[in-house]
Amino acid sequence: MLKVISHKTAAMIAAVAVLSVALAAAGRADNNTTGNSMQAQIDHGKSTYASKCSHCHGPNLMNSGTVTPDLRAIPDDKTRFVTTVKNGKNNKMPPWADILSDDEIGNLWAFVSSRRKP
Ligand code: HEC
């Protein structure tokens, strides 16, 4: 009887060990997901930019010889970016609040930030 219990205990210890390895692996997978989702936001922002913004702001975030600002050099201020994109500016920059979701605008910010000039 005693022997049976100790077998069970050993099995239990083994199960706990397997579980903690699995949990550690899951933790690493989570970290990878975070990294990938930042890249996914940038990629998504890039395609939204190409379809909605590039004809004014230029394919590479700037359009020299026009009134559009170089988006690689705008202030590092997400609130200002989101407000400008939602509401537009000076009747020259069109408002996007009815067209783009908060997520899409957040992804645009991720894309623009990733191309910031040092
Ligand atoms: C019809 C042309 C046009 C389109 C399309 C357009 N913009 Fe603009 N944008 C402008 C102009 C012009 C300005 C400058 C307005 C001013 O300062 O008077 C501007 C300004 C901005 C600014 C302000 C920068 C600052 O000073 O903080 C941001 C940010 C911006 N645009 C982002 C975007 C994004 C993102 C998109 C795509 C969703 C977009 N724009 C689409 C013309 C456009």
Question: How close is the Cα of 68 to the center of ligand 1, in Å?
Answer: 6
The pLDDT value given to residue 42: 97
pTM listed for this prediction: 0.78
- pLDDT tens track for 37-91: 999 999 999 999 999 999 999 999 999 999 999 999 999 999 999 999 999 999 9
The pLDDT value given to residue 118: 84
Mean per-residue pLDDT over the chain, rounded: 84
Give the domain 35-114 fold: Cytochrome Bc1 Complex; Chain D, domain 2 (1.10.760)
Residue spans per domain, the chain:
35-114
As a whole number, mean pLDDT of residues 2-6 equals 58
Do the beta carbons of residue 48 and residue 107 sit within 8 Å?
A: yes
**pLDDT range class, residue 36, cuts 50, 70, 90:** confident
Ligand 1 site residues, Cβ closer than 6 angstroms: 52-53, 56-57, 67-69, 71, 74, 80-81, 84-85, 89-90, 92-94, 96, 108
| Virtual torsion, Cα 63, 69, 73, 74, nearest 10 deg | -150
The pLDDT value given to residue 34: 64
Question: Minimal CA–CA distance to 83: which of 104, 105, 68?
Answer: 105
Burial 11-24 (b: 16+ CB within 10 A, else e): eeeeeeeeeeeeee
